[in-house]
Amino acid sequence: MTNPPRTARNRWHAHNARLGEHLGKPESGWRQRWYSVIFEADTRAGRLFDLTLLGAILASVLVVMLDSLPSASGRAGTLFTVLEWLFTLLFTAEYVMRILVVRRPWRYVLSFYGVIDFISILPTWLAIFVPELAYLLDVRLLRLLRIFRILKITVYFEEAQILLRALLNARHKIFVFLGTVFIITIILGTVMYVVEGPQHGFTSIPVSMYWAVVTLTTTGFGDLVPKTPLGQFITSLTILLGYSIIAFPTGIIGAELVNTMREGSASSTPPQTRACSGCTLDRHDTDAAFCKRCGTRLPLLPTETAGSQ
């Protein structure tokens, strides 16, 4: 009998176990209790902690956004300042607690989430000396990645890894594509600089390349348009070329994504292979009874052997 596939809950427990081993989960005492609350969302207290933290993150970002509005800042500037300091003290206490409850604090400090946690509280403290840095508080949005822990949808991380591997596998093709687009941009920019000239706004080749990028991507800001019939004809061809170019990266990444998913499926399912006892040839068909080279009877598959028992 084959083992049942691991469920999302099992994968989540395995993730918590790896995290505890990496950071050094305390075995007893108040540190162990607070570790379960702060770093794990399995318990009711841990889930409530993460939900409260996410609500505070959203509220703090909203305060920063509202504070950037002159009308809102003029009416409630003092309230926004008080709220921001309350959020900062809360996040600072959380950051300190995360360091205190693990046995290997530097591993947390230097981890991805540790760096994000530190960056999220740094701007407010620095704003005491440089007030302009207060608007850097929007980096707290990065901490919303923790929502995946609460929902326990670790499968999304697996799918993200598949997408990342597909992008890495397609990087050479992507670089070739970007290089081709860059060459086309230079050629179109040079041609439009010659055709239109400075009198129509195409004052230099870099400016004309800006027009080429905007036109190839079918954005069309309208701040730089050709005036001559030949320039308008070239613009029409460039727009059509842009529509055809858009499909290339989609096809490249899509093909690599399919190949990566197939490789993952193949690696998760071990091949059913049998070697001939007479000539040692392997990789026979699963339904083959005799060797396709020498005709010797093949041994049974492992699944067939288990079934006969």
CATH number of the domain that residue 231 is part of? 1.10.287.70
| The token pair that represents 84 in the structure block | 């921001």
Residue 70 lies in a domain: yes
CB count, 10 Å around CB of 233?
A: 12
Residues 36, 104 within the same domain: yes
* Contact indicator for 203, 223 with CB cutoff of 8 Å: no
Dist. CA 132–CA 255, nearest whole Å: 46
- pLDDT digit string, tens, across residues 29-67: 888 888 888 887 667 888 888 888 888 888 887 887 787
Surface-to-core class of residue 126, CB atoms within 10 Å of its CB (0-12 exposed, 13-18 middle, 19+ buried): middle
Domain encompassing residue 303: 271-309
Same domain, yes or no: 146 and 108: yes
Q: Model-level pTM?
A: 0.52
- Domain membership of residue 160 (yes or no) is no
What's the pLDDT tens digit per position in 175-218? 998 899 999 999 999 999 999 989 988 989 999 999 999 998 88
170 neighbors 252 (Cβ within 8 angstroms) = yes
| 120 found inside a domain | yes
The Cα–Cα gap between 37 and 50 comes to 9
For residue 131, tell me if it sits in a domain: yes
Contact at 8 Å (CB) between 36 and 43? yes
